[in-house]
Structure 1
Amino acid sequence: MMTEVKETTNIFGIRAIIEAIESGSTINKVYLQKGLRGELFYELNKLIKIKNLTTSMVPVEKLDRLSKNSNHQGAVAQISPVEFYDLEELIEKTIEDKKTPLFLVLDQLSDVRNFGAIIRTAECTGVNGIIIQKNGSAPVNAETIKTSAGAAFKMPICKVDHIKDALFILQGSDIKTVAATEKTEDSIFNINFNQPIAIVMGSEHRGVNPSVLKMVDYKAKLPLLGEIASLNVSVACGAFLYETVRQRITEIKN
């Protein structure tokens, strides 16, 4: 039975957030009041930029809700319930363990339930790590963890400044990249997943970014036999991951 997941911790007050950042706490996101000014705010904003933290400018009503109407001073930060991994170190460890690398790259996936479902499937299919972008991606919060059935505590998750940075690192380590996209004639069944590979899944609304598509080694699509033009991203991701499992198990048996 899965342990109950506590809500993501919110801290509020500019000085408290500054101290949390300086102490090395893993910050999911910082919410700042629109139009906020002042010396302490500028100190916080400078630190946010140095640490490249995700921020969102919001009305005071949003901050009131997040802080349960406490004295937030125009700033609320969400502390992540999980620690993030360094991508290069994770790749190196995977190769040292003599595993055939299998990574999952999520190009600005925004829905926490889709994210949680993908983490769960990734853990079940032997993915070595999930890579997300620091800005514009769904956070790892209580709902993400609950939807993942706790797999978020087992699955290494890496944050990068940009998805293209991750592709450079992966390809530099001889890991092929394949994007799931309908903008290709190549079927998923024509791709060799029995090699070091990273699967790139796009966002719910626009798919994989065109600039990312230009960088990948392969593009592949799933056959759609009905009238609906696309699958839910977590379902499509599951299909890609289990095709990878099928090919690798078949190779082992042979």
Structure 2
Amino acid sequence: MDNTGYIEGRNPVMEALKAGRDIEKIFIEEGNKSGSIIKIKQIAKDRGIVTQYVHKNKLQSMADTQSHQGVIALVSSHSYKNLEDILKIAKEREEDPFIIILDEIKDPHNLGSIMRTAECVGAHGIIIPKRRSVGLTATVGKTSAGAIEYMPVVKVPNIASIIDVLKEKGIWIYGADMSGEENYYNTNLTGPIGVVIGSEGSGMSRLVKEKCDVLVRIPMKGNVSSLNASVAGSIIMYDVLRQRGMKK
């Protein structure tokens, strides 16, 4: 693997898959459907890893060597945790769980910024989906300003399903949405809480929105109709911190 977070070549990618390495996505040269590529695609499918066919020029521009053999894997800069790891941190701190749930955040700078704020406000962890979401890439790590070393990130197959799990554990889910029933600062954000932040363009998916216990909005007075996902998330996260401080 080079410094950009890529593994190049059929055998290296195959071994990384067999070893259970955290892989964000596998890029395959268009038209390349030989035996070993078929095996790579099958293992990736079984593990829920996205594969994408790209033009050979695209693959070549990504490659650090001349021996990528038509396949390159984008690997995680850091390992992922599981939900129990997050809940354990909250228990050890003797605090109510405070979890950030991201619904299809694709911009690595947004994820890094959200991670940085989450660490600053004392959140216990972040949950992201396996598909249609940026993972723990080098860019995310750099943008997080070191927070990636301290903030646990859990990658799950389905955000709506993990919300159900959190609810069963007594955690209330608050979604940031322009159609919210009440302003975030008028909402009780204390107690066990999960804050959902939607994607940069379309916000939360319909199903995720329906799963939220409460939808909260950030009031807007200007001509621009929405905030950057990381900015919106920061505003609400800091109000959680404010309200928790007031409770003490």
In the superposition, the TM-score normalised over structure 2's length comes to: 0.95
Secondary structure of the 2:243 match is helix
Structure 2 distance, partners of 1:92, 1:155, is 13
Residue 119 (1) aligns with residue 115 (2):
yes
Structure 2 distance, partners of 1:89, 1:140, is 17
Q: Residue type matched to 1:109 in 2?
A: I
Structure 2 distance, partners of 1:236, 1:40, is 45
Secondary structure of the 2:215 match is strand
Residue 23 (1) aligns with residue 29 (2):
no
Structure 2 distance, partners of 1:32, 1:81, is 21
Q: Percent identity?
A: 32
Structure 2 distance, partners of 1:98, 1:21, is 38
Displacement after TM superposition at 1:21 (Å): 1.3
Match of 2:188 among 173, 192, 201: 192
After TM superposition, where is structure 1 displaced by more than 4 Å over at least 4 residues in a row? none
Displacement after TM superposition at 1:97 (Å): 4.5
Structure 1 distance, partners of 2:20, 2:65, is 26
Structure 2 distance, partners of 1:71, 1:22, is 20
Match of 2:126 among 119, 127, 130: 130
Structure 1 distance, partners of 2:78, 2:156, is 16
- Between the two proteins, the alignment pairs up a number of residues equal to 247
Partner of 2:103: 107
Structure 2 distance, partners of 1:91, 1:128, is 7
Q: Residue type matched to 2:57 in 1?
A: E
Distance 1:159 1:54, change over 3 A: same
Partner of 2:29: 33
Deviations 1:145-202 (A, max 9, x none): 1111011111000000011122011111110000000012311022211110000000
Match of 2:199 among 186, 193, 203: 203
Structure 1 distance, partners of 2:165, 2:69, is 40
Secondary structure of the 2:37 match is helix
Residue 139 (1) aligns with residue 135 (2):
yes
Give unmatched runs, 5+ long, in structure 1. 1-5
Partner of 1:156: 152
Structure 2 distance, partners of 1:32, 1:87, is 32
Give unmatched runs, 5+ long, in structure 2. none
Structure 2 distance, partners of 1:37, 1:227, is 50
Deviations 1:76-124 (A, max 9, x none): 0122110101124432553354321000001001111111111100000
Secondary structure of the 2:223 match is coil
- Greater shift after overlay, 163-172 or 84-93? 84-93
Q: Residue type matched to 2:207 in 1?
A: S
